[in-house]
Amino acid sequence: MEEISVASDCGEKPTGPIDATSCDYETVDSYNGQLYDSLRYLLQLPFFKYLQIDLYRGCPFWEDDATCTESTCSIANVDESEIPEEWRTKTLSKVAPVDETYHQVDGCYYRDSDFCFLEDPQLGEYYDLTTIPERYTGYTGSSPHQIWRAIYEENCFTPRGPNSALEQAEKCLEEKVYNKVISGLHASISTHICLDHLNQTTGEWGPDLQCYITRVASHPERLEYIYFNAVLLLRAVSRMTPYLTQYDYFQGVSQEQIGEAKRNLEKVVDIARQAGRFDESRMFSGLDAISLREDFKAHFRNVSRIMDCIECDQCRLWGKVQTAGLATAMKILFELNDNVFNFALNSSSETVVQRSELAALFNTLNRFSESIHAATQFMSMTPPPARADAEERIDINHVSGNLDADSPETDTNESSVYRYCRGRAIECVDGATRLWAKGVRSLEALTQWWSEKASESEIHTTKTEL
Ligand SMILES: Cc1cc2nc3c(=O)[nH]c(=O)nc-3n(C[C@H](O)[C@H](O)[C@H](O)COP(=O)(O)OP(=O)(O)OC[C@H]3O[C@@H](n4cnc5c(N)ncnc54)[C@H](O)[C@@H]3O)c2cc1C
């Protein structure tokens, strides 16, 4: 097998600011464990786990024969009688306020505010998302490649004249965001495929490190875009926080579970407030803002329609759920103003974001949180360091003792634990990764960095972390 270079093998956890956001990787990492646990709990609730989806709309862009021969591609729906009556939508007018105008393209509907086509409640079946994993299905070859190509081709907005503001800097932000959203979604789907992969030789399911290296880790920006999507989705949750209290999440939930469910919802909201730092006011703020936003919306709507071309039910279901989740986040951030989410000012806001949109948003956030979690898991699967590398280890507590001019003997903490990726420290409890990223690989180097390079704020941060 081809030897892969060290730097791109298992990848390194990104550090520092997340491009186009006001958040950094370390903040997302510090919250992701709790986010992952809380979402896991919440997504078991009927409110979040049941979604109505029409998997059989047909592909409007090219001939498809809907042939995924693998048994792993097919999925089972749930009987409608399992769904609480008030969640069973029978007409489009129950999907949105009646005063909003519906547009129709090829029998599919959307409203002006939508970044995706709506599921037709008369045609869709109900699915229990907890029973349908996103994982390897054997759906490969020209069909998915054609779909990914079509999705990336949507990242080409209407050309403007030479004096157009689109030539200016704001053009870059919208297209950058669009590309990050799509590429991040692709990377997250690939992460799930590699995490729950079928070994064709042994017939066993499990993580496939080589798959992850090839599809994600060897392109560091792909993991970065996964983080970007997580921040974007968290910002959407945070923005609609006042509105979140209006839903009844506890249909079909036992009394004992309600307290726990509330705690987990509060935890997600709290994390969203801390880590969902994306400034949506910077988007669509130039001279061409209105037409650019319409283009952006139309293109993302097309992406949601391209999902109907996926020839694998399981992949199509998760493709649809996640494009709906991202479209909901974009609607919340780019389309609706703050007053909409303020119940005191807007008593009709109960229809602004439907249960199905909220469920899609939370399930999508969960997928990205899982992908960030999986990145850590894959890094820990890398081979143990060569002996020479192992000798390079620094006892960070010893170092911190020196830095603080304390006697190392007074340090009662246990030595920090490093995880290595082929000889390079990729993770360490409390901040050592940052030192390694700065090229600080020995006690001497650290002492030198400390005395020569570190600014007051770096010293403070590092001391706190240590
Ligand atoms: C919406 C959707 C959902 C899917 N869900 C599943 C699923 O649940 N299970 C399953 O087994 N298969 C699924 N597939 C298929 C899967 O995504 C791959 O297409 C398939 O496994 C073939 O992979 P590949 O290695 O040939 O490259 P692909 O993932 O098909 O990528 C095609 C090309 O795109 C480029 N590329 C890859 N990743 C990125 C990225 N993050 N950013 C930018 N460019 C990139 C590369 O040049 C690559 O060669 C899905 C496909 C789609 C379109």
Q: Which atom of ligand 1 is nearest to the CA of 149?
A: 34
Give the Cβ contact number of residue 317 at 10 Å: 21
Binding site membership of 145 for ligand 1 (Cβ less than 6 Å): yes
User: What is the sign, positive or negative, of the torsion defined by CA atoms of 80, 82, 86, 87?
Assistant: negative
Whether 315 is a known active-site residue: answer yes
User: 410 a known binding residue?
Assistant: no
d(CA 86, CA 310): 31
**Chunked in runs of 10, what are the mean pLDDT values of the chain (466 residues)?**
42 89 96 97 95 89 68 80 77 56 77 82 87 94 94 72 50 85 98 96 93 92 97 96 85 89 96 97 88 91 94 95 97 87 61 87 98 93 50 38 31 32 34 47 54 46 38
Q: Ligand 1 centre and the CA of 86: distance in Å?
A: 37
Measured in residues, the chain has a length of 466
Predicted pLDDT at 12: 74
Please give the model's pTM, rounded to 2 decimal places.
0.80
- Of 23, 194, 312, 428, the catalytic one is 312
pLDDT of residue 343: 62
Catalytic pick among 309, 315, 421, 428 = 315
User: Which atom of ligand 1 is nearest to 134's Cα?
Assistant: 8
**Other Cβ atoms within 10 Å of 99 Cβ, number:** 7
**Ligand 1 in contact with 222 (CB < 6 A)?**
yes
Q: How far is CA 423 from the centre of its chain?
A: 30
326 Cβ closer than 6 Å to some ligand 1 atom = no
> Mutation test of ligand 1: which of 148, 151, 304 has the most ligand atoms closer than 8 Å to its C-beta?
148
Q: Which atom of ligand 1 is nearest to the CA of 148?
A: 53
Going by alpha carbons, the residue nearest to atom 20 of ligand 1 is 140
d(C-alpha 94, C-alpha 153), whole Å: 34
Residue minimizing CA distance to atom 9 of ligand 1: 136
C-beta neighbour count of 2 within 10 angstroms: 3
SS (H, E, C) the chain: CCCCCCCCCCCCCCCCECCCCCCEHHHHHHHHHHHHHHHHHHCCCHHHHEEEECCCCCCCCCCCCCCCCCHHHCCCCECHHHCCHHHCCCCHHHCCCCCCCEEEECCEEEECCCCCCCCCCCCCEEEEHHHCCCCCCCCCCHHHHHHHHHHHHCCCCCCCCCCCHHHCHHHHHHHHHHHHHHHHHHHHHHHHHHHCEECCCCCCEECCHHHHHHHHHCCHHHHHHHHHHHHHHHHHHHHCHHHHCCCCCCCCCCHHHHHHHHHHHHHHHHHHHHHCCCCHHHCCCCCCHHHHHHHHHHHHHHHHHHHHHCCCHHHHHHHHHHHHHHHHHHHHHHHCCHHHHCCCCCCCHHHCCCHHHHHHHHHHHHHHHHHHHHHHHHHHCCCCCCHHHHCCCCCHHHHHHHHCCCCHHHCCCCCCCEEEECCEEEEECCCHHHHHHCCCCCHHHHHHHHHHCCCHHHHHHHHHHC
Cα 202 to Cα 225: distance, rounded to the nearest angstrom = 33
**151 Cα nearest atom in ligand 1:** 53
Which of ligand 1's atoms lies nearest the C-alpha of 145?
30
Q: Name residue 190's amino acid.
A: S
- The predicted-structure confidence for 397-414, as pLDDT tens digits, reads as follows 333 333 333 333 322 332
Q: How far is the CA of 68 from the centre of ligand 1 (A)?
A: 15
State residue 155 phi and psi, 5-degree precision: -85, 55
- Ligand 1: which of 189, 200, 317, 321 to mutate, most ligand atoms within 8 Å of CB? 189
What is the end-to-end Cα distance of the chain in Å, rounded?
40
203 alpha carbon – ligand 1 mean position (Å): 22
Nearest-CA residue for ligand 1 atom 7 is 315
pLDDT at 68: 63
Report the C-alpha gap between 459 and 405 in whole angstroms: 13
Given this model, what pLDDT does residue 446 score? 54
Q: Is 186 annotated as a binding residue?
A: yes
**How far away, in angstroms, is 134 Cα from ligand 1 center?**
13
ipTM of the complex: 0.99
